[in-house]
Structure 1
Amino acid sequence: MPPGSVMTFGPHVCGSASGFEHEWLVTDGTGGYATGTVAGLRTRRYHGLLVTPDRHLALAALDPVVTLPGGATVRLAVHEWASGAIEPAGHHHLEHFELADGVPRWRWRIGEVVIEREVAMTHGRNSVAVVHRLVDAPAGVTVELALTALCTWRDADGERDRTTEPPAVELAGGGGFTVDGAYRVDGPDFRPVGEWYLDAYAREEAARGLNPVEDLWAAGTFQATLALDETLSVSAWSGDLDAVPPAAATVVADTRRRARKLLRTAATAGARDAVDKALVLAADQCIVTKPDGTPDVVAGYPWFGSYLRDTMTAYEGLFLATGRFDEGARLLRAHADLPERMRASRLGDCDGPLWFVHAAERHVARTGDDALAAELLPVLEGVIAAYTKGTRDGVRADTSDGLLAVEADESGLTWMNARLPRGPVTPRDGKPVELNALWANALGAVGALRERCGRDASVVHSRREAVKAQVVKRFRAPDGWLFDLVDARPAAYPKGGGSIHDDAVLRPNQLLAFSLPYAPAADEPRLRTQVLQAIGATLVTPLGLRSLAPAEYGYHGTHRGGVVARDTAYHQGTAWLWLLGPYVEARIAAGLPVDTVLTAVEAHLGECGLGSVSEIAEGDAPHRATGAPFSARSVAAVLHARAAIRANRKLQTASSGKTEKLKLARDAAPRKRRNALR
């Protein structure tokens, strides 16, 4: 199945267990969402038709039952139970699934009768529309369609069962009902039921070592008699329960129009082919608007929130590669208080502010927005000053060499931040290589912006040159690559040790020293080549770069099991897709081929989170994708890397054309001289 703005599956996938592995997602632009599987089975505790921005699961499912003219009933839903039974098995009637312009569509066939479902959300409001239509039937035939609303009201990370009070269902004026006063479900001819569906089973939660069983409350049914092309629509929403959203069919049409507008905007920024289109819509899922009107980024669905590091790491891909410049500028302005926050409180993040500096400089470089440069320059200088004096997280520029040091990585301050009760899985006390690559890059970025604003940048440039020299000097390891840490504390060593070390463990973090715009090791081509050879031979997988080389102590090639097992493997061998961005940029800088680096990832768009990119994959073959199936950093990295590859290809074409013209000119010169002699 080729990825693109339209993705389809036929009965072989829809009607089998394969359909349980492909997930769809629609979002509302505020942080709320609806998600599930192609075949309709709820395999995660997070699957449902309405999840609120504060991550509460509301409407879990609408189970369709069709009554044919002869009186036979056919159940089109599919559920798995703690007993192991899959009943009903309505996916056996599912002949087609399509994801087009961000709207998922299912078609069930019962002989000559075909029922269609579409799901969309109102952008800017936590509201979902579910439209059912009779799209094919013999002439004059009508069918009865009933939808059983399975409800709950719980934290999306937990469960609710019959040991609690049933959800409080109250009839709503004008039709439908409310649940626990928190959300409303509306549709035609509602008939209350009021009973528990016991022991619903979520197989993905079992695989993650979590409780996979919950009970769902059947609140009642919506019903209608459908002739050809007639619909039965249900809407559900939270917030102002009296404010009825637009008609469901209108919501679907508006969603499609909005998706096409996003694609037109992105096309002006260079995103034009089918893969780009899918990624542009995936990026849109991650961009949300907060209640105060400022943009933000959801790090991943279905369980992540918003974090500074993820937001700014993803900034180039999400906002610049898609042409969303105005939103991006508003997001950057919203972080103007970052220096004060760094001084006043713990961010739990040692490099997010440096990614913010990178994002701001890249935005100005891409858009030429000098007004924004002048506005943000004091903020960026404040970030530099905060690191110089020392942040509340214990990150400070060492006065002896100018490098940034993490005094005590007790809570996981770098992006390798997995924690167990005993502390970080990968403690990185000392001077991490990627932190100092970002530090040198931030100094270069501030210097460039000072020059752009007509201000003297000599002091900043001088400081960057000193840091750059120290990075090359201090981090060059005897093995032919860069140390992952210098001045590492003993706690960073799983085998112990009583003195400060330089840690030569082979990880991908060093890529930032070669890939960033003001990379500190950019002028070391031989070192860069050695590093890329080592990384290419040991860390590169089809779906990202391993976080640790397989030959290193503590390598975990699988990411499975309970919380402890998965968190232990998270940065100890698991492959991260977002690292493909720095890898592509480093290869381009080295003049190495990049055209095939993203081939597997582009195919992956149709494998797990449809149209999107997974957070991580297992380090061992076959590199099964895992983690969040819809990841902002991964989507952004692929968008940005594809843009970089296109720009590099264009540059090479222009260069080869110029070379060819020079060659033709040289060949023509002797002929001109001979003609002149005649």
Structure 2
Amino acid sequence: MIDIRSGPQVCGELAGGASREWLVPDGRGGYAMGTVSGLRTRRYHGLLVVAGDTPASRRVGLVSLDPAVTLPSGDRVRLGAHEWSSGIVDPRGFERLEQFALVDGVPRWRWRIGDVVIERELAMAYGRSCVAVVHRLVSGGPVRLDLAAVCTWRDAHGERRADGPAPRMEPVAGGAIVEGAFRLAGPDWTPEGQWWLGVRHREEAARGLSPEEDLWYAGRFSGALDKPGDTVSVLAWADGLAEEPPPATGLVEAARRRNRAVVAAAKPTDAVEATLALAADAFVIRTAFGPDVVAGYPWFGVWSRDTMTAYEGLFLCTNRADEGRELLRAYAATLSEGMLANTADTGRVEYNTADATLWFLHAVNRHVTATADTDLGAELLPLLQGVVEAHLAGTRYGIGVDPADRLVTQGGLPGMALTWMDARVNGVPVTPRAGKPVEVNALWVNGLAGLAELTELTGRDATALWGLHAQAAASFRRRFPAPVGWLHDVVDAPAYPLGGAARHDDDLLRPNQLLAWSLPYAPLEPDAATLRRIATGLFTPLGPRSLAPDSPGFVGRHRGGPAERDSGYHQGTVWPWLIGPFVDAYRRAKLPVDDLLVGLEGHLGEYGLGSVSETADGDPPHAATGCPFQAWSVAEFLRVRRTR
């Protein structure tokens, strides 16, 4: 894997150390997450964040373990870090950090106090809501180490205040159970029970959200570090509270071994692919219903569009086809009226997407093509044929096939945003794309051809499907090329605001058209001159912008409160996942692609360490935004590197 480490100039200065984040997943949708500096900058940061009934319904438990070292002289040095409502950062333990590193995916901090050097390593027990934190004396000593256990128990998207009831504390051997939800265990436990008021999260302030909360100082653990090699360890876990996990040092070593095995199973060809293979592993989880995919950390749960877009990169490029097969079967069971369930993150199962189902057709075809798993193809074939039939007949939200040209039209209902550009402000779509979007129809043409091939592989007649594919492809080639020199983003778009009779074709320069050249059964043959023109308007080192800078409505900075951020979400913001279709289109046009990936390779050490962000600013220097760890960003980067 690539070497990810930071020295004292990054660790000890908040602009650097607090802007680089690490993630340790538990394989169930929960995680530990924080910054290189140790300063919690998000409400979502914590050492034990527990997934609930769905991956999105997470709760924060153990917030931090703040170290304090008592030296032989009697001096006490605090190594934690908190920002307060006053803006003061105290303590400032990051100023004692001489290095942070990710070693086989395990974060390691190294503090120096004169000749005393203490390391911390942190890991989660895979498949359990359990975190192990190990502190080791590297040199110097003897010293005594105190660890202040700072806790809460709340929804990850909110805050908890001292004006409510204090967390319930139940004493148990070696520690305490907090709120009946999670347990702390370690050496020489001393209960405290005190509110820390006004802890501030600077990233939430920047996002226009409530930035402050009150935290509960539950108590402290203490241990002696007499000689190099001595350790003081703490465990926190939220399942099987009566049963203590294995020793923390063993859990750290087990995590390191597992991470190495995950990378080896993917058979990477270089350090970047190895890093991406481990990054991909963070998103593949197992729930009570089988394998699934977290769309992004720290705030997303499961979204079928993201899952199916990321499928090839997460499963086929990492040799996890058996898990992928199980996932595809489970998702097929959610089909209703020819549509794949979109998400349950909102609290109910929703089907409000025009493209997730077509990405599902693509994922199944790629799985069968890559694995020769024709048994799965035969099993799912009736359901996939039902998707086509439902689209021909018309289904929810105005999604259906126009009998005049055999292209998919969708939307037209107030407040609906059914493509991946689905941001809304006050219930109004920011990028209204009702009509016939270019990527939806590229996926439709691609899906029909893939399904026809699958039908033939199972010994059935596919004449009707090939005929429908030929009609749709011919209409695509006729309808989407625009006089400006690229493809229309939407054709037959209704007047907006809705209600007018006039329809028009939208020729704004957006990246959605890349799928018309990139998919395996793409409707168009690539044209080098057109792709270069698109690259000039859209390409950045982290991938394509969602809108060209010279277009009306372009937003170059993805910043501010929720409404401001949503207003720019697809109006110029960079989306790294689009590197996949961009590179594929370039390759098909026989244009050079290796230089297109250099920026993303450097990005692996800049924001979400070892991973790829959800978004970035459209304007230079293209600072990363959104989730620091995003599934389809990682998956598409890995996929196009593996298929060189």
Relative to its length, the structure with more helix (as a share) is 1
Deviation at 1:378, TM superposition (A): 1.9
Counterpart CA distance in 2 for 1:308 and 1:555 is 28
Counting matched residue pairs gives 628
Match of 1:166 in 2: 166
Give 3-state SS (helix, strand or coil) of 2:335's partner: helix
Gaps of 5+ in 2: 52-56, 342-348
Residue pair 2:411, 2:418 contacting (<8 A) in 1 also = no
CA-CA distance at 1:535 after TM superposition: 1.2
Superimposed CA distance per residue, residues 285-309 of structure 1 (whole angstroms, 9 cap, x where no aligned partner): 01100123x1100000010110000
Query: Does residue 256 of the first structure (1) align with residue 259 of the second (2)?
Result: no
Partners of 2:427 and 2:297 lie apart in 1 by 28
* Deviating more after overlay: 237-246 vs 567-576: 237-246
| Alignment of 1:560 onto 2:559 | yes
1:382 aligned onto 2:386: yes
1:300-379 maps to which residues of 2 (within 5 A)?
300-340=296-336, 342=338, 346-379=350-383
CA distance in 2, matches of 1:102, 1:391: 45
Amino acid at match of 2:298: P
Deviations for 1:288-333, whole angstroms, at most 9, x for unmatched residues? 00123x1100000010110000000000111111111111111111
- 1:615·1:634 contact (CA, 8 Å) conserved in 2? yes
Q: Which residue number corresponds to residue 23 of structure 1?
A: 21
Which residue does the alignment assign to 2:489?
484
1:285 alignment partner, one of 275, 282, 287: 282
Give the match's secondary structure for 1:193: strand
Looking at CA atoms only, which structure, 1 or 2, has the larger radius of gyration?
Answer: 1
Counterparts of 2:275 and 2:617 in 1: how far apart (Å)?
Answer: 24
- Distance, in Å, in 2 between the alignment partners of 1:457 and 1:500 is 35
- What SS is found at the alignment partner of 1:82? coil
Following the alignment from structure 1 to structure 2, what is the Cα–Cα distance between the partners of residues 52 and 5? 29
**Structure 1 residue matching 2:332: 3-state secondary structure:** coil
Shift of 1:490: 1.1
Partner of 2:439: 434
Correspondence 1:71-220 to 2 at 5 A:
71-137=74-140, 141-172=141-172, 174-220=173-219
Distance 1:471 1:492, change over 3 A: farther
TM-score normalised by length of structure 1: 0.91
Q: What letter matches 1:67 in structure 2? A: T
Residues 435, 491 of structure 2: 8 Å contact kept? yes
Q: Is the 8 A contact 1:129 1:233 kept in 2?
A: yes
Residues 136 and 341 (structure 1 numbering): CA distance in 2 closer, same or farther, change over 3 Å? farther
| Candidates 509, 516, 520, aligned match of 1:517 | 520
Check conservation: 2:137, 2:231, Cα contact below 8 A. yes
Distance in 2 between residues matched to 1:536 and 1:96, nearest whole Å = 39
Counterpart Cα distance in 1 of 2:591 and 2:397: 39
Give the whole-Å Cα distance in 1 for the aligned partners of 2:628 and 2:333.
32
Paired residue type of 2:381: L
Separation in structure 1 between the aligned mates of residue 68 and residue 45 of structure 2, nearest angstrom: 20
User: Separation in 2 of the partners of 1:244 and 1:190?
Assistant: 16
Note the alpha carbon deviations across 1:229-262, whole angstroms, 9 max, x for none. 1111111111331132221111111111111111
Aligned position for 2:612: 613
Which residue of the other structure, out of 295, 298, 306, is the alignment partner of 1:299?
A: 295
SS of corresponding position for 1:261: helix
Distance in 2 between residues matched to 1:426 and 1:558, nearest whole Å: 17
2:397 is matched with which residue? 393
Give how far 1:498 is off. Answer: 5.5
Question: Helix, strand or coil: the match of 2:459?
Answer: coil
Equivalent-residue separation in structure 2 for 1:170 and 1:348 (angstroms): 45
Paired AA for residue 439 in structure 2: E
Letter in 2 for 1:277: A
Shift of 1:379: 2.2
More divergent stretch after superposition (350-359 vs 455-464): 455-464
Separation (CA, whole Å) in 2 of partners of 1:628 and 1:149:
27
Counterpart of 1:603 in structure 2 is 602
Identity %: 54
Within 2, Cα distance between the matches of 1:393 and 1:297?
26
User: Which whole-Å CA distance do the structure 1 matches of 2:500 and 2:87 have between them?
Assistant: 50
Q: Which amino acid aligns with 1:64?
A: P
Query: Which shifted more, 482-491 or 604-613?
Result: 482-491
1:405 aligned partner: 409
- Give me the whole-angstrom Cα distance separating, in 2, the residues matched to 1:330 and 1:636: 19
| Contact kept? 1:426, 1:492, Cα under 8 Å | no
Kept after mapping to 1: 8 A contact 2:445/2:472: yes
